[in-house]
């Protein structure tokens, strides 16, 4: 009798014992700031604290996993239907109630102190930062890997790279115009050398008029400094708007090359300022503006 269980187990038709599948190992990552964090193998609840990063999530992620947006995230239109978490000041209570598996953001938007506080409360925060357009494409690829959406991310980045290559093949007059891009007019703040704009305008066939690298990425410039730069093109508002505000406030700046040629242009709201999947649109718009024929 004692042998019966053993004999039964040896029968060819004895049912096999099925082991429970092992849980997928969590991902141990380092973000673009070099910070270590651990996220689930397959994050199911995600959000971003920067509008550019929300755009990136909508371009790569399963959008059903996006649980919230910030008060300034307005693109794509579908993002507006998500619950809102104020990003500054950060609404910790609201964010914690949504229980995201991981929060994505960009350097300069979310403070490292807020990120540390979130991680102490069990929510990992992943930072990205971008110095060149290629860094945005790399960032999209990284998101695809983290979110288990690698093929979708590769299709997107391959398409964007193809569009950029096509733009580079278009004829470009020479010399490359010097472009001054304003972020504020009183006092005067501009896109500095160490900003993504420098690479964007290069790909558009121009050059950043600010050649000096300041400690601040968006430096404040004096009128004397701008006169020395003598830009061919100014971005930051239409000619009519800046003529009645910026150039009225600083009439001596009418001596720069851009003013008599009326090469002063507005860019699409939030397009140039958001490093995201619309970056090719940004380069295309910059190219169109800086190579617009001067006014007669």
Q: Residue range 129-158: average pLDDT? A: 97
Can you give the pLDDT at residue 21? 53
Residue 10 lies in a domain: no
pLDDT tens sequence across 69-84: 999 999 999 999 999 9
Neighbours of 136 (CB within 10 A): 27
Q: Residue range 181-196: average pLDDT? A: 96
Can you give the pLDDT at residue 293? 74
CA distance 178 to 234: 9
Does residue 152 sit in the same domain as residue 95? yes
Does residue 284 sit in the same domain as residue 208? yes
pLDDT classification of 55: cutoffs 50, 70, 90: very high
Least confident of 13-17, 112-116, 183-187: 13-17
Can you give the pLDDT at residue 269? 83
Does residue 150 sit in the same domain as residue 192? no
For the chain, the domain total comes to 2
Range of the domain at 106: 27-166
CATH number at residue 202: 3.40.50.1980
Does residue 39 sit in the same domain as residue 162? yes
Q: Report DSSP letters for 97-156, one per residue.
A: HH--SEEEEEBTTB-HHHHHHHHHTT--EEEE--SSHHHHHHHHHHHHHHTT-HHHHHHH
Does residue 150 sit in the same domain as residue 202? no
Q: Residue range 265-282: average pLDDT? A: 94
Does residue 158 sit in the same domain as residue 202? no
Q: Which of 143, 166, 189 is the last residue of a domain?
A: 166
Does residue 236 sit in the same domain as residue 213? yes
pLDDT tens sequence across 96-114: 999 999 999 999 899 999 9
Name the burial class of residue 231, with classes exposed (0-12), middle (13-18) and buried (19+) by CB atoms within 10 angstroms of its CB.
Answer: buried
Can you give the pLDDT at residue 292? 80
Does residue 155 sit in the same domain as residue 34? yes
Residue 227 lies in a domain: yes
Q: Residue range 287-293: average pLDDT? A: 89
pLDDT at 87 over 90: yes
Can you give the pLDDT at residue 22? 59
Q: Which of 166, 191, 213 is the last residue of a domain?
A: 166
Q: Which of 133, 166, 199 is the last residue of a domain?
A: 166
pLDDT classification of 5: cutoffs 50, 70, 90: very low
Q: In the chain, what percentage of residues exceed pLDDT 70?
A: 91
**Residues in Cβ contact with 104 at an 8 Å cutoff, skipping those fewer than 6 apart:** 46, 47, 48, 49, 50, 53, 56, 57, 125, 126, 128, 143
Does residue 152 sit in the same domain as residue 185? no
Does residue 33 sit in the same domain as residue 144? yes
pLDDT classification of 294: cutoffs 50, 70, 90: low
Does residue 150 sit in the same domain as residue 32? yes
Can you give the pLDDT at residue 171? 86
User: Do the bridges between strand 27-30 and strand 36-39 make them parallel or antiparallel, or are there none, so unpaired?
Assistant: antiparallel
Decide if 127 contacts 31 (C-beta within 8 A).
Answer: yes
Residue 158 lies in a domain: yes
Does residue 115 sit in the same domain as residue 225? no
């Amino acid at each position: 009798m004692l042998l019966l269980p053993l004999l039964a187990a040896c029968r060819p038709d004895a049912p096999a014992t099925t082991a429970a599948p092992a849980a997928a190992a969590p991902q141990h990552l380092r973000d673009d700031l070099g910070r270590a964090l651990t996220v689930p193998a397959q994050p199911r609840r995600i959000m971003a604290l920067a509008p550019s990063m929300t755009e990136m999530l909508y371009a790569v992620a399963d959008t059903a996993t996006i649980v919230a947006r910030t008060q300034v995230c307005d693109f794509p239109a579908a993002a507006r239907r998500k619950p809102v978490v104020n990003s500054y000041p950060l609404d910790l209570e609201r964010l914690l109630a949504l229980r995201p598996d991981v929060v994505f953001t960009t350097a300069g938007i979310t403070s490292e102190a807020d990120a540390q506080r979130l991680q102490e409360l069990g929510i990992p925060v992943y930072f990205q930062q971008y110095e060149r357009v290629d860094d945005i494409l790399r960032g999209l690829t990284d998101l695809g890997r983290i979110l288990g959406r690698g093929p979708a991310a590769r299709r997107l980045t391959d398409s964007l790279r193809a569009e950029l290559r096509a733009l580079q093949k278009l004829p470009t007059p020479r010399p490359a115009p010097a472009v001054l891009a304003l972020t504020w007019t009183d006092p005067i703040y501009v896109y500095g050398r160490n900003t993504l704009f420098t690479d964007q305008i290069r790909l558009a066939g121009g050059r950043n008029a600010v050649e000096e690298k300041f400690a601040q990425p968006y430096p404040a410039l004096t009128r004397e400094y701008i006169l020395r730069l003598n830009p061919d093109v100014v971005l930051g508002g239409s000619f009519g708007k800046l003529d009645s505000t910026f150039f009225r406030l600083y009439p001596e700046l009418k001596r720069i090359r851009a003013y008599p040629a009326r090469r002063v242009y507005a860019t699409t709201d939030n397009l140039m300022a958001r490093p995201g999947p619309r970056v090719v649109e940004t380069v295309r718009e910059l190219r169109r503006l800086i190579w617009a024929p001067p006014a007669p």
